[in-house]
Amino acid sequence: MKIGLLVGRENTFPLAFIKKINEMDVDGIRAEFVRLGGTKEAEPCEYRVIVDRISHDIRYYRAFLKNAVLSGTYVINNPFWWSADDKFFNYSVASKLGVAIPRTICLPSKAYPEDVWPESLRNLVFPLDWQGIVDYIGLPAFLKPFDGGGWRHVYKVHSMEELLHYYDLTGELCMVLQQFIDFEHYVRCFCIGKTEIMPVKYDPKHRRYIVEHGHLTPALGERIMRDALIINEALGYDMNTVEFAIQDGIPYAIDFMNPAPDMEESSITSFYFDWVVNAMTKLAIEKAQTGKLSDMFPRWHRMPGVIPAVKAASNIV
Ligand SMILES: Nc1ncnc2c1ncn2[C@@H]1O[C@H](COP(=O)(O)OP(=O)(O)O)[C@@H](O)[C@H]1O
Ligand SMILES: [Mg+2]
């Protein structure tokens, strides 16, 4: 059986992951870089498991991965769900599951491609009730893409003028406006295989991971572990980071759609790098041995409290 890896620019994680699996030599399971150059329809995939670190940037890889699922390949992370998911949906699901999130409003885009005619925007209220929006969210606030990553187009706005100024710069992006969490502490959890959770102290200002054991009180640690477990169970990601901003002792889930999280040794520190390589190795081998395709899919639609009981009873789920 083979485990394949699709990679981007990073070096440390892929090499360590492949080396470790091959050294372990469990049940003859081998790991290697996937090699691709055109895929036939319904082509069988030779890999039992593929770890995908880059299909968000390479669309052909996403197409290849969806086809691979048809031949029973367990893909980390699910290429169908990753294509469908977005952060705004994540906030809504999390809030229904009792996870604290900042108040969030998803906004219509500022601009549209030239071939979108005004008639196609007839459902939209114009102008937007900016005062009502700001009354709900408060100021300062964060304006950021509903499906973004890597801190691109993330703005902290302090006034209505600043909000409109930055919104006007966002063009065709779909943005959310979000309550500012004035955090005393920020935690980034590595989440591997939905249940292996490592909460790490993080300094967003300098974008730095900090090795400091015991940075959480037992109660806060327990709450963060509980919330991260709920989030990964609902969204189905096997490789993710979940970020919490803690204000007045409450962990607000800020960003929990990171299906190809940074795993470069120089940025996550050697300590957490070793943890991640171990957890990923264990997960990939386990999935090669016993992974069921159904485990790749999100569960939010089955979790109590997400879809109202009255609708559930009428066969909507
Ligand atoms: N609501 C918020 N309150 C306080 N800080 C925030 C908020 N939203 C985002 N941030 C800050 O901006 C950073 C980037 O935002 P995030 O939602 O994580 O987007 P990305 O996916 O681009 O990382 C966060 O790590 C955090 O430091
Ligand atoms: Mg983030």
Domain edges within the chain: 2-84, 103-179, 185-267
CATH code, 103-179: 3.30.1490.20
Return the sign of the alpha-carbon dihedral for residues 53, 59, 62, 67.
negative
Ligand lying closest to the C-alpha of residue 142: 1
- Using CA atoms, how far apart are residues 301 and 221, in angstroms rounded to an integer? 27
Best probe residue, ligand 1, of 255, 258, 262 (max atoms within 8 Å of C-beta) = 255
Confidence of residue 148 (pLDDT cuts 50, 70, 90): confident
Confidence of residue 308 (pLDDT cuts 50, 70, 90): confident
- Using CA atoms, how far apart are residues 2 and 26, in angstroms rounded to an integer? 11
Burial class (CB in 10 A: 0-12, 13-18, 19+), 251: buried
Cα 201 to ligand 1 centroid, rounded to whole Å: 15
Q: 100 pairs with which residues across the strands?
A: none
Ligand 1 nearest-atom number relative to CA 204: 27
Q: Maximum Cα–Cα distance for the chain, whole Å? A: 63
Q: What is the mean pLDDT of residues 282-307?
A: 96
What's the one-letter identity of residue 184? E
- Using CA atoms, how far apart are residues 174 and 31, in angstroms rounded to an integer? 38
- CA 6 to the chain's CA centroid: 17
Looking at residue 78, what is its pLDDT?
98
What top-level class would CATH report for the domain 185-267? alpha beta
Q: What is the mean pLDDT of residues 202-208?
A: 93
Phi, psi for residue 141 in degrees, rounded to 5? -145, 165
Report pTM.
0.95
Q: Which CATH architecture describes the domain 2-84?
A: 3-Layer(aba) Sandwich (3.40)
Length of the chain as a residue count? 317
Q: What is the mean pLDDT of residues 150-164?
A: 96
Closest residue by Cα to atom 17, ligand 1, is: 255
